[in-house]
Amino acid sequence: MKRFKPALILVVLILFVQGCVSVPTFRSYKRGEYTSLEKLCSKYGIDYNFRVFYEDIRLKNKYLDAYLKLGSNYILVNSRVVEFPVKVAYDRGSILVPYGFKEYLENLFVRQKSLTAYLPSSVSIKRIVIDPGHGGKDPGAISPWGLKEKTVNLDIAIRLKRMLEKKGFKVFLTRTGDYFVSLKNRVKFARWKKADLFISVHANANHSRSMRGMEVYYLSRRFTDPESKALAAAENLCEQEKITLTYRLKKIVGDMLNVENRRESLLLCRSILKEAKSMGIKTRRAIGAPFYVLKYNYMPAVLVETGYLTNKHEERMFRNKFYRTQIAQSIAEGVYYFVKELNRPRIVSR
């Protein structure tokens, strides 16, 4: 009996995997409603990744970023949610997309002699909320030499606001003086101002006084509260576009928006760190974290820990207004180049 045991285990594993790796099949469709995703990607040179367990598909190349989900008629294309009359389907090993999606892509491609395709991003970052951390009864971190985080945060935030306004952005501060604002009200403020981007400014502390350098935080998938965040994003979309969606559709659309927001938040983190490093500022890394202002904002959001007040060298630099200006400048340049990258014309010749 023992000699059959490995074979038996193998058969069980195969049956288990086959049972797990299963996707819904949609065969009740009419001729002309669907087109093959594989053929579409081949035609336009698009790579796609089909995650069986999540039942979603990511289409991507240098000029296109789209997110599809089996059983949904909503598709996220270059940050824009597009609704189609039929759902994304799977039939006999092939992924089928609404024929209208093919037409939608073709409309994005402007036909010239060289068949040059223009796919401008639909992203428009115009309104930015800057959030100086702490304030009033909440001083934040206090250095061993008496410098309070709330003072540093506000000064850098005010300088950052001026710099971004000079670059053409509409900028708002969650607080303009030394007073307390709850985390919940900071998030509400960003929604009230219809912000396209949220940047929280902080200074760090650590029991190790050798720790130093700028860190930028984003909300990673690991810390996402899927349902509440998805519904908040969908509610905002419904309010802006004046549309009505069922609870189920809100969840699907919200999930799509959250995927895009996470991607953009990470890009912004990297852009800020890159600019800071180029200016000679000590940098560390981009980190996923569950901060309240990241978790409950539906727009792309980052939290910048500008340095460590517990490090004697950085604390002394924070007391210098020119260094605080340099910190603000690095964030402003990071935002500028991030937005420029999102909005740049995307051209490819075939």
Distance CA(318)–CA(315), nearest Å, equals 5
Residues near 234 by beta carbon (within 8 Å), at least 6 away in sequence: 245, 249, 250, 251, 253, 254, 257
254: number of Cβ within 10 Å: 25
Residues near 57 by beta carbon (within 8 Å), at least 6 away in sequence: 37, 48, 49, 50, 51, 67, 68, 69, 70, 88, 95
Q: Percent of the chain at pLDDT above 70? A: 72
Which stretches within 24-83 are classed as H helix? 37-44
pLDDT of residue 187 exceeding 70: yes
Specify the 3-state DSSP secondary structure of 323. helix
Q: Which domains does the chain have, with CATH numbers?
A: 23-118 (3.30.457.10), 127-347 (3.40.630.40)
Q: What does the pLDDT look like over 224-280, one tens digit per residue? A: 444 444 444 444 544 554 445 454 544 444 455 556 677 888 899 999 999 999 999
pLDDT for residue 260: 65
Distance CA(286)–CA(301), nearest Å, equals 13
Q: Which residues pair with 69 in a beta bridge?
A: 56
Q: In what order do the strands lie in the sheet with 170-173?
A: 170-173, 127-132, 197-204, 301-308, 214-218, 283-288
The overall pTM is greater than 0.85: no
Q: Are 302 and 272 in contact (CB under 8 A)?
A: yes
Q: What does the pLDDT look like over 108-137, one tens digit per residue? A: 654 333 333 333 344 578 999 999 999 999
Q: What does the pLDDT look like over 129-160, one tens digit per residue? A: 999 999 999 999 999 999 999 999 999 999 99
Q: What does the pLDDT look like over 49-97, one tens digit per residue? A: 888 887 888 888 766 778 888 988 888 877 677 888 888 888 878 889 8
HSE-up (13 A, CA, CB side) for residue 267 = 16
